[in-house]
Structure 1
Amino acid sequence: MSNLSRIESNTLKNLTVEADTILNFEVIAPRLASLHLAVQFRGLRAFSVTVRDAPDLVQASVRLLDNPLPVKGYPFVFQQDANLLPPMLCRFLRSLSNVRSLELSGFRDMAQHISPPPSLGVPWPAEYQFQLMAPGSDKSAPCPMLQAILDEEHNRLPMFRNLRTLVLEQCEIGDNIQTLCSFLHYTPALEKLTLKNCECQKVPSSSASNILEMGFMTSSLSLVQIQYDDKDDHEGQGTPQVDNVVSMVEKNMPVTAMIHVTKVRKT
């Protein structure tokens, strides 16, 4: 995909793009119904993906991967400036505004996606860009990726007016689920929400924290599914974390929405 700048087809219906170090292309496919994109953040050098002319897009998913790279050939990791990642992801999501079902996976603290500096004895290449903190109002703490996207001023999220189903997997949804509520502000027709192994922790203050005072827009939401792996129970973190998420969901979701909690066996 590194040398591909455009995917154009009048018959293409399903498109899956696996992780690569350079993702710079646009998609022009009027009949596109399904799009799945996996982004490998370790070693990512450039990202700029947009979808054009896909009015009938039914399903889309974006997975942010954090797989370790092989030592051979990767004595260090360099990537594009982390400041550019939220606006580029936001721009990509804007191009999916017609989608009916959306899944976001791995939208956690940006610090987890930013590589550490080279170890002692390894030279710093000229291309290397190291930035510990992500953009946000509080530079002393990492900003969750989802919140960083919501805080974008020049590339704001659109209204996902056709979105009926939203799945968030391994995402940081903010203290008092403020980040989640902020995102739901853009999904007025949402009917089903699924949270898989999401975390609910205190994050730096931002515009997302004001969303609870603006009122809840997703009045059509009828079902919230909360799923977590049973493996987490043995690590002593699963139950407290899911209890925290459930408590915040019960507090902030519409009273008409049913809430189901499911423990999933992890293989």
Structure 2
Amino acid sequence: MGSSSRFPVATGDRLSSLPDELLYAIMSFIPVRQAVQTCVLSRRWEHLWCSMPCLNIDQQEFDSTATWFSEGSRFEEFVNSLLMFHKARSLDVFRFHVTQNYGFKVVNRWFRRGIKCFPAVVEISRSANARFHGLPHLGSSSYRLRRLHLVKIALDKSFPRQLSSGCPVLEDLKLDECLLDPPEITSCTLRNLIVADCMTNGGNVLTITAPALVSFYLVITGVGWNWDGVSVNEMPALVKATVCLKQDRRYTSSSPKRPCKLLCNLINVKNLELSGLQTLSILHGESDAFPTFSNLRTLLFDGCDLSDDFQMLGCFLNNTPCLEKLTLQCCKLPEGSKKRKRMENPKRMSIKCHDSLTFQCPNLKLTEIKYKEDDVHQLFGLLSGIWRNLRKTTIILTKA
């Protein structure tokens, strides 16, 4: 309360009587233009914005108020003034979103000015119609950086080196639709990693080395998959992993050049989600021995290709001794499933057992299956043989 006593406060103005730290916390929830406008409230608020530890600069805020800032130059003038007069020695959050095209030097100057304030969190993004901008060299300003989220940002050859040696406390990294050249992510401190729809110049292998990772989320989409492959080093502390390999429907010939072979380095994961029709065949080479997932508790297949009569599914179930829950969600079944007759009551149908399929998964307690109506007969036919040795398993069926 000591800081507020220096300013006369209007009677009944309980908000202005709060200490600076609480007012900064309140201001962190509003966009930067509104935060600056609080200077007109009273003398108490006149200079608060100059020291607020959270800068949330979003050009969309100005785009929606064309009567005030009808030209991009007004936004540029505002940002230049904001960063010039802002005097906080360090930032808790530096967030910047660009919607229009600006010269590289202009945007780079804004990014560098924010990063020089030693932010703990950096979130930089651009709209689809704005040109690619690069991430300035973090330098010594990254020693406090805990979270780095980048959307549609170009990352050059200096980025892997900055991650590995210049960010000693970085725990949370998100790269969404970024250009990685080279595609390399190395960090001994990362605990959460998201790589979604990123690109490379082609002919490269996405290499990830993050031994402390707890959560891993990978989405790859694009013509020709845009990658020669994906290489992930062992992650002994991994709790949850999600891998999604999506094919661009406009290009039916799109396919990876060789298997990603990720599974062998995800063996310590406890919760695994795999999605995409081709995911299972791509993630594991046919000639390799299937790995054992000793810690896996939950397994989800979303839209995966099981048309091999569940042979790949059998590999998982026979190599997950601690698996407790299995979810099959709208997966692709053998072609013969569409030729079967629809049955009004699938519980009463006569079904053909696949005696050759025997799964050994003693701890599997729950299996959830979301299926398409056309696949119901073949589904029950396969399940009757597959699950005959899994008597502790409860099967829940839901029509998608």
TM-score by length of 1: 0.64
Q: Matched residue of 1:189: which SS?
A: coil
Q: Matched residue of 1:193: which SS?
A: strand
- On the 8 A contact 1:107/1:172 being kept in 2, the answer is yes
Confirm whether residue 9 of structure 1 aligns to residue 142 of structure 2: no
- On the 8 A contact 1:56/1:98 being kept in 2, the answer is yes
* Equivalent residue, structure 1, for 2:220: 39
**What are the superposed Cα offsets for residues 116-165 of structure 1, whole Å, 9 maximum, x if unpaired?**
xxxxxxxxxxxxxxxxxxxxxxxxxxxxx635766621x33311111111
Match of 1:30 among 203, 211, 214: 211
Confirm whether residue 107 of structure 1 aligns to residue 241 of structure 2: no
Listed as ranges, the matches of 1:92-103 within 5 Å are 92-103=262-273
Confirm whether residue 85 of structure 1 aligns to residue 258 of structure 2: yes
**What are the superposed Cα offsets for residues 149-183 of structure 1, whole Å, 9 maximum, x if unpaired?**
66621x33311111111100111213543332233
Q: CA RMSD in A?
A: 3.0
1: CA distance, partners of 2:393 / 2:306: 18
Confirm whether residue 262 of structure 1 aligns to residue 398 of structure 2: yes
* Equivalent residue, structure 1, for 2:367: 224
2: CA distance, partners of 1:249 / 1:77: 31
Post-superposition offset of 1:196: 0.3
2: CA distance, partners of 1:10 / 1:151: 28
**What are the superposed Cα offsets for residues 66-116 of structure 1, whole Å, 9 maximum, x if unpaired?**
2346xxxxxx89878x5x423xx2x211111111111111134xxxxxxxx
Q: Matched residue of 2:235: which SS?
A: coil
Q: More helix per residue: 1 or 2?
A: 2
2: CA distance, partners of 1:223 / 1:184: 13
Q: Which letter maps to 1:249?
A: L
Report 1 or 2 for greater relative contact order, CA contacts < 8 Å, sequence distance ≥ 6.
1
- On the 8 A contact 2:358/2:385 being kept in 1, the answer is no
- On the 8 A contact 1:150/1:182 being kept in 2, the answer is no
Alignment length, in residue pairs? Answer: 200
Q: Matched residue of 2:180: which SS?
A: coil
Paired-residue identity, %: 32
* Equivalent residue, structure 2, for 1:57: 238
Q: Which letter maps to 1:63?
A: C
User: CA 1:47–1:103 in 2, change beyond 3 Å: closer, same or farther?
Assistant: farther
1: CA distance, partners of 2:355 / 2:367: 18
Post-superposition offset of 1:226: 0.6
User: CA 1:201–1:27 in 2, change beyond 3 Å: closer, same or farther?
Assistant: same
Larger radius of gyration: 2
* Equivalent residue, structure 1, for 2:280: 146
TM-score by length of 2: 0.44
2: CA distance, partners of 1:214 / 1:261: 20
- On the 8 A contact 2:355/2:385 being kept in 1, the answer is no
1: CA distance, partners of 2:397 / 2:254: 38
- On the 8 A contact 2:368/2:395 being kept in 1, the answer is yes
2: CA distance, partners of 1:12 / 1:78: 36
- On the 8 A contact 1:9/1:28 being kept in 2, the answer is yes
Confirm whether residue 156 of structure 1 aligns to residue 334 of structure 2: no
User: CA 1:29–1:148 in 2, change beyond 3 Å: closer, same or farther?
Assistant: closer
Q: Matched residue of 1:85: which SS?
A: coil
Q: Any stretches of 5+ residues in structure 1 without a counterpart?
A: 70-75, 109-144, 204-210, 229-237
**What are the superposed Cα offsets for residues 189-235 of structure 1, whole Å, 9 maximum, x if unpaired?**
211100000122059xxxxxxx975842212111100124xxxxxxx
- On the 8 A contact 1:188/1:220 being kept in 2, the answer is yes
Listed as ranges, the matches of 1:225-240 within 5 Å are 225-228=368-371, 238-240=372-374
User: CA 1:148–1:26 in 2, change beyond 3 Å: closer, same or farther?
Assistant: closer
